[in-house]
Amino acid sequence: MTDPLYIHVPFCDGKCHYCGFYSVLNSTRLIEDYPRLPARELAHLLDTRPAAVRTPIRTLYLGGGTPATLGESGLAELFRRLAEVTPLDSVEESTVELSPASVTPSLLNTLRRLGVNRLSIGVQCFNDAALARIGRRHDAATAIRAIRMAREAGFTNLGIDLIAGLPEVTPEQWLDSLQQVLSLDLQHLSVYALTVEPGTALAYQAEKGLLLPDETAQLADLDQADTLLCRAGFTRYEISNYALPGFACQHNLAVWRGSDYIGLGPSASSRLGRDRWTNERDLEGYTDALGRNASPPRMHETLTALDDATERTLFALRLKEGFDPAERAARFPVLQEHILGWEKKLEALERHGITERAECRWRLTARGREVGDAVIRELL
């Protein structure tokens, strides 16, 4: 089995206004059926792609949607059926995403019994009015209570998400959220700039005149977060992610460093060698296919050796550590004639303060991380 394994749980109590991830409203029948399906998909994959069996699973990540919608018994069944297909005793980091409103002492104890040792809680901000405006179903007090419950249950690796640039959030309110973060004994923080995804309620509201912060205001919020978090001992190890020493998300690090990965569930993506595929955003089709012992409906492509090596290399620019051109050329010989062209572009960006060379590794500067995706697109 390849190293990182992701499982998508596509159920939610409602759709947050900004969310572009695939989810469906809770359905008792579908929820009851779902816990057996990811293991069935994995078993089918291992039958049809024996080459997927290479290394033990080291990281497991349940995201969504809202994994807690499966209930404690459903989560236990999902883990049990997965363990029947592939050993889980090699898992070093097991993460589950939780919404603050779903957190209870009983759920936390169940997750601990299942071997989960890392939680990512979707807080987004600590301002009640802003949370209501984006369709979240919790308030600040619920979020704080959830984090404290997780600590009391014995979790020592806790992270939350924050969104910069939410509608009608003042700089003072953003600062309040950041100061609240620093009071909660967290080990990890993801800070994302608000993105208006097509087809979301937020996109509709924006079309109808909802005023959104401009890019300058968003960058100011992100800069303030960077300053306060780094001063508090966090490291910005990836464009949007901060961690205390020893608490970077190993699952995401493996992907950013170019590892193969497997994703199970509707909308989940996988990459094995030069093959990559994404399951369609279709729970009914996913359920039906696995009921017939067939592959779920998916979009598949096979990359050229050059495109595969290029993506795996340039993705590392998202990380603070960057990449070593010589090491990448040795790992991917097809890159050797392209490295020189990249280095010329990176040197030009260095003169503008966007990139820097630290010993033998190219990486983005603090300024460069704010436009990191554009830099990567330029090099692709």
Residues 68/110, Cβ–Cβ less than 8 Å: no
- For 112-119, what is the mean pLDDT? 98
Strand pairing report for 188-193 and 241-243: antiparallel
Which residues lie below 8 Å from residue 72, measured CB to CB, with a gap of 6+? 106, 107, 110
Please report which helix (H) or strand (E) contains residue 374, including its range: helix 372-379
Q: Across the chain, which distance is largest between two alpha carbons, in Å? A: 59
Residue 199, class by beta-carbon neighbours within 10 Å (0-12 exposed, 13-18 middle, 19+ buried)?
exposed
Supply the pLDDT for residue 33: 94
Residues 374/362, Cβ–Cβ less than 8 Å: no
Residues 61/91, Cβ–Cβ less than 8 Å: no
Confidence of residue 1 (pLDDT cuts 50, 70, 90): very low
Residue bearing the bigger pLDDT, 2 or 340? 340
- SS3 of 335, please? helix
Instruction: Look at residue 194 and tell me whether its pLDDT is greater than 80.
Output: yes
Nearest CA to 57 out of 18, 139, 1 is that of: 1
Instruction: Look at residue 131 and tell me whether its pLDDT is greater than 60.
Output: yes
Residue 13, class by beta-carbon neighbours within 10 Å (0-12 exposed, 13-18 middle, 19+ buried)?
middle
Instruction: Look at residue 283 and tell me whether its pLDDT is greater than 50.
Output: yes
Residue 48: count of CB within 10 angstroms of its CB: 9
- For 7-19, what is the mean pLDDT? 92
Span 225-257, pLDDT tens digits: 999 999 999 999 999 999 999 999 999 999 999
Taking the C-alpha atoms of residue 133 and residue 217, their distance in angstroms, rounded to an integer, is 19
Supply the pLDDT for residue 319: 95
Taking the C-alpha atoms of residue 287 and residue 270, their distance in angstroms, rounded to an integer, is 18
Instruction: Look at residue 55 and tell me whether its pLDDT is greater than 70.
Output: no
Instruction: Look at residue 52 and tell me whether its pLDDT is greater than 80.
Output: no
Nearest CA to 260 out of 249, 241, 248, 276 is that of: 276
Whether pTM > 0.75 for this model: the answer is yes
Instruction: Look at residue 331 and tell me whether its pLDDT is greater than 60.
Output: yes
Helices (H) and strands (E) in the chain, counts: 16, 16
Taking the C-alpha atoms of residue 370 and residue 222, their distance in angstroms, rounded to an integer, is 8
Span 252-274, pLDDT tens digits: 999 999 999 999 999 999 999 99
Residues 263/59, Cβ–Cβ less than 8 Å: no
Instruction: Choose from 40-54, 150-164, 187-201 the range with maximum mean pLDDT.
Output: 150-164
The mean-pLDDT minimum among 7-21, 188-202, 203-217, 279-293 falls in 203-217
Q: 238 forms bridges with which residues in the sheet?
A: 241, 319
DSSP 73-132: HHHHHHHHHHHHHS--TT-SEEEEEE-GGG--HHHHHHHHHTT--EEEEEEE-S-HHHHH
Q: Look over the chain and give the mean of its residue pLDDT values, rounded to a whole number.
A: 93
Strand pairing report for 275-279 and 269-272: antiparallel
Supply the pLDDT for residue 53: 57
Domains with residue ranges and CATH for the chain: 4-255 (3.80.30.20), 304-380 (1.10.10.920)
Supply the pLDDT for residue 379: 85
- SS3 of 264, please? strand
